[in-house]
Amino acid sequence: MSDKSTLFKFDNISVTVEGKQVVNSVSLNIKRGEVHAIMGPNGSGKSSLSNALMGHPAYNITNGQAALDGVDILGMAADERSRAGLFLAFQYPLAIPGVTVANFMRTALQAHRGKDADMADFRKLFKKKMADLSIDPTFATRYLNDGFSGGEKKRIEILQLSVLDPKMAILDETDSGLDIDALKEVSKGINEYRNNNNAVLMVTHYQRLLNYVKPDFVHVMMDGRLVTSGGPELALKLEDQGYEWVEKEFGQKAEA
Amino acid sequence: MSDSIQKQKESLAALNEDYESKYGFSDPVDYFHKGAKGINHEVVEMITKMKKEPRWMADIRHEALDIFLSKPMPAWGDIKLINEIDFDNIYYFMKPIENQQNSWDDVPDYIKKTFDRLGIPEAEKNFLGGVSAQYESEVVYHSMKEELKEQGVLFLDMDSALREHPDIVKKYFGTIIPMTDNKFAALNTAVWSGGSFIYVPPGVQVTVPLQAYFRINAENMGQFERTLIIADKGARIHYIEGCTAPTYSTDSLHSAVVEVLALEDSNIRYTTIQNWSRNIFNLVTKRANAHARSTVEWVDGNLGSRLTMKYPCIQLLGEGARGEILSVALAGTDQHLDAGAKVIHVAPNTSSRITSKSISKGNGRASYRGLAKVHKNATGAKLAVECDALLIGEEARSDTYPTIEVDAKNVAVEHEARVSKVAEEQLFYLTSRGLTEDDARLLIVNGFMEPFTKELPLEYAVELNRLIELEMEGSIG
Ligand SMILES: Nc1ncnc2c1ncn2[C@@H]1O[C@H](COP(=O)(O)OP(=O)(O)O)[C@@H](O)[C@H]1O
Ligand SMILES: [Mg+2]
């Protein structure tokens, strides 16, 4: 079928925020069924890239192209990108007081399916996804991320991923703030989401999530640039040796 | 209300109109009586004569008029706006029909149509225990369920109550809000007409709400309803009022007085959804006396109007009495909603909670003005005040003027005030899940209002969300 065809491709993406360039000419070609990881030290521009690709109005893409399933997305607003099949799990999900998780999920799914679409299956689907992720049913009626712990917020992000079932998922530091049990649950959720027609881009500082969700490719980001790429072994090397060697080897280039 | 947005969308599908078409219409009316504009002792005498009132009430009215004329305008609040009221350019009494009706069939068509469009008879059929509909100065339709009558519940318009139960009216009228209280209370006392009278006998639990609907139709109209609610010992009652008016280029005045009395162990909830057009000055005095172990709750939703000044008050007079005031205000462009709450702790071990939520958008301005006072005998009092303001757009404005005075020992006070903006980050979070920016903003606003909305009967919650959606349309920038 459409296996191994390109799903999400961006070229020479540069991003400025508050007038400062934070991402510099980054390119990636992600095929269906693949898992990519972008690793890099804090402040290297990983979240800026993720936010910009999702359409955050504060992050200006000053140069480059990006296409999802062959369709240019840079002219789209965030909601259109979402409905086109792009998803971003946030590093710091925000609280929306007064809006329950269930109401929010229903509203989001309705937005994806269209205003007049039938939602009769929602309750069942939502319940099942909650159970799959071992999320306590009482979360359905709690206000979105309001007073949630860091780990609970990340689980709810993965719940959103699994309910909306996008083509392309960018997961920004989904592993941060999780204890080992939560990390396993969340990884299980990501693995259940994966199939041969979608793809995952994991953005992370540490490689421990990569023990549970095996990447096909690992890219290293430094000072707004992707400086090197490799297989899973690259992640292990970073875990072992830290980012200093990257800095030594590529830091110069990044500044040039 | 987990599916509130959804429900509201559904109810909206058929009805996506603005205030102008839904509430802004007006009827050309041949009034049974329409006096001259302006206020003086002759007007007061005419009102009391037309109503065939006892002399003691006429005397009260004349005395109140003198107080109104001698009191200066308030020197606080929105002084500029309030001084735009032209008391000489207002009709103080308009009687649309000769007699009140108890059957919709007998209500004149043009009025029936108005209330039909406002959904009143539907609501009565579906979930209300009784309905009163006031048009201009007088109640034109009134009904109550038979079983409530049998339990001895009295629910009448104030004019009828004065005729049929003069002893009760005389005993309580003006005892909670004396005519000297403020200039607008004096004005209301002088020219009051219509309003609701409720008496619930000891121990009677009224579980279905009673509702009154106040409609101003004429331009330059002054509506001065007078409401008195008494829950006798151990009784329970929920009263709901709704208000709308057509949109005119010149202003009308709505100045009500509401007196509420909760005797020992009783429970009163008073819910208001006001949705005035933008030419209404809404200056209302509402106060409740709560006796031992009773509970009084004001649930007060304020949309629309040019200027609203309203501070529902609870005086906790008996040991263990509890008061709760939950109010929301939505101030759109060119509107100033100056709303708030007052609680006065007089007896020991009384408790109160004030929750005020406001939304300002465009150049709208919402102010919270509150007073929480604990007298020296009210030891062991507990009070909590929470003010939450949400700003939409750069020009929106919110102010809080909270005053807390504690003269007793062993008192627990909590106070919180927050101002937030609909943040770009929140909008991005929601739009990244596929919601349009408008839907995202609406969801945030509805979430903000949720603590209020969830206290309303479902029908009102849906209606309120719908009104908010109408207000929010095109609110960007
Ligand atoms: N909203 C913002 N406003 C100003 N600076 C920002 C903003 N977001 C990111 N930055 C800056 O961009 C750089 C990259 O940050 P970020 O993308 O968060 O890196 P990472 O996710 O790799 O830790 C940092 O210098 C950070 O301070
Ligand atoms: Mg980051």
**Is A194 part of a structural domain of the chain?**
yes
Chain B's closest residue to A100, CA to CA, is B2
**What is the share, in percent, of chain B residues with pLDDT greater than 90?**
58
- Which of A57, A103, A115 is the closest to B4 by Cβ? A103
What single-letter amino acid sits at B361? K
Q: Judge if B35 and B24 occupy the same domain.
A: no
Higher confidence at residue B220 or residue B120? Answer: B220
Degrees, nearest 5: CA angle A128-A133-A137: 60
- Under the banding of pLDDT at 50, 70 and 90, the label for residue B475 is very low
Q: Judge if B4 and B145 occupy the same domain.
A: no
**Is B55 part of a structural domain of the chain?**
yes
**The pLDDT of residue B138 is above 90:** no
**Residues of chain B neighbouring A130 (CB-CB closer than 8 A):** none
pLDDT value for B276: 82
Which atom of ligand 1 lies at the shortest distance from residue A51's CA? 17
CA B64 to chain A, closest CA, distance in angstroms equals: 45
The residue segments making up the domain with residue B274 are 31-310
Suggest the residue from A79, A86, A126, A143 to mutate for an interface test with chain B (most B CBs closer than 10 A).
Answer: A79
How far, in Å, CA of A38 to CA of A234, rounded?
Answer: 11
Nearest ligand, CA A91: 2
Give residue-wise pLDDT tens across range A144-155.
999 999 999 999
**Is B120 part of a structural domain of the chain?**
yes
- Which of B2, B428, B451 is the closest to A100 by Cβ? B2
**Is B70 part of a structural domain of the chain?**
yes
A42 CB under 6 A from ligand 1? yes
Q: Judge if B116 and B15 occupy the same domain.
A: no
Contacts made by residues B48-55, CB under 8 angstroms, sequence distance 24+: B50/B93, B50/B95, B51/B159, B51/B162, B51/B193, B52/B163, B53/B162, B54/B162, B54/B166
Tokens of A46: 């990983």
Q: Which of residues 6-65 of A touch B (CB under 8 A)?
A: 51, 54-58
Q: Judge if B23 and B35 occupy the same domain.
A: no
The secondary structure of B211-260 as a DSSP string is EEEEE--STTBEE--EEEEEE-TT-EEEEEEEEE----SS-EEE--EEEE
Beta bridge partners of B309: B283, B338
Beta-carbon separation of B447 and A54 below 8 A = no
Q: Judge if B198 and B221 occupy the same domain.
A: yes
- Under the banding of pLDDT at 50, 70 and 90, the label for residue B127 is low
How far, in Å, CA of B5 to CA of A96, rounded?
Answer: 14
**The pLDDT of residue B15 is above 50:** no
Choose the final residue of a domain: B295, B310, B325.
B310
How far, in Å, CA of B279 to CA of B298, rounded?
Answer: 25
**Is A192 part of a structural domain of the chain?**
yes
The residue segments making up the domain with residue A249 are 6-91+167-255
pLDDT per 10-residue tile (average), chain A, 256 residues? 79 96 97 96 95 96 96 97 98 94 96 92 95 94 94 95 98 91 92 96 90 95 95 90 85 52
CATH number, domain with residue A21:
3.40.50.300
Beta bridge partners of B405: B373
Whole-model pTM: value is 0.81
Give residue-wise pLDDT tens across range B195-252.
999 999 999 999 889 988 888 777 788 899 999 999 999 999 999 998 777 766 678 8
Q: Which of residues 101-160 of A touch B (CB under 8 A)?
A: 102-104, 106-108, 110-112, 115, 119, 140-141, 143, 160
Q: Judge if B187 and B306 occupy the same domain.
A: yes
Report chain A's terminal Cα–Cα distance, integer Å: 43
Nearest residue by C-alpha to atom 1 in ligand 1: A17
What average pLDDT does chain B have?
87
**Is B186 part of a structural domain of the chain?**
yes
A43 CB under 6 A from ligand 1? yes
Angstrom CA distances, A88 to A157, A161, A165, A166, B432, stand at 9, 8, 12, 10, 7
Q: Judge if B217 and B244 occupy the same domain.
A: yes
Tokens of A47: 């979240």
**Residues of chain A neighbouring B468 (CB-CB closer than 8 A):** none
Q: Judge if B143 and B84 occupy the same domain.
A: yes
Cα Rg of chain B, angstroms: 22
**The pLDDT of residue B132 is above 50:** yes
**Is A223 part of a structural domain of the chain?**
yes
pLDDT value for A256: 41
Higher confidence at residue B349 or residue B110? Answer: B349
A226 CB under 6 A from ligand 1? no
What 3-state class would DSSP assign to B280?
strand
Nearest residue by C-alpha to atom 18 in ligand 1: A47
**Is A115 part of a structural domain of the chain?**
no
**Residues of chain A neighbouring B429 (CB-CB closer than 8 A):** 90, 93-94, 96
Give residue-wise pLDDT tens across range A102-113.
999 999 999 999
Q: How many residues does chain A have?
A: 256
Tokens of B198: 């409720």
Tokens of A38: 């972008």
**Is B207 part of a structural domain of the chain?**
yes
How far, in Å, CA of B113 to CA of A228, rounded?
Answer: 74
pLDDT value for B22: 66
**Is B387 part of a structural domain of the chain?**
no
Q: Judge if B9 and B37 occupy the same domain.
A: no
**Is A126 part of a structural domain of the chain?**
no
Q: Output DSSP code: residue B104.
A: G
In chain A, how many domains are there?
Answer: 1
What lies within 8 Å, CB to CB, of B192 at 6+ separation is B61, B158, B224, B225, B226, B257
How far, in Å, CA of A175 to CA of A205, rounded?
Answer: 9
A225 CB under 6 A from ligand 1? no
CA A182 to chain B, closest CA, distance in angstroms equals: 23
Tell me the count of A-B CB pairs closer than 8 A. 97
In chain B, how many domains are there?
Answer: 2
**Is A127 part of a structural domain of the chain?**
no
Mutate to test the pocket of ligand 1, among A15, A47, A53, A220 (most ligand atoms within 8 A of CB): A47
Give residue-wise pLDDT tens across range B153-195.
999 999 999 999 999 999 999 999 999 999 999 999 999 999 9
Q: Judge if B148 and B54 occupy the same domain.
A: yes
Among the listed residues A173, A158, A157, A249, the one whose alpha carbon sits nearest the alpha carbon of residue A206: A173
Q: Judge if B212 and B156 occupy the same domain.
A: yes
Beta-carbon separation of B9 and A115 below 8 A = yes
Q: Judge if B21 and B143 occupy the same domain.
A: no
**Is B411 part of a structural domain of the chain?**
no
Choose the final residue of a domain: B263, B278, B310.
B310
**Residues of chain B neighbouring A148 (CB-CB closer than 8 A):** none
Chain B's closest residue to A163, CA to CA, is B433
Choose the final residue of a domain: B310, B334, B367.
B310
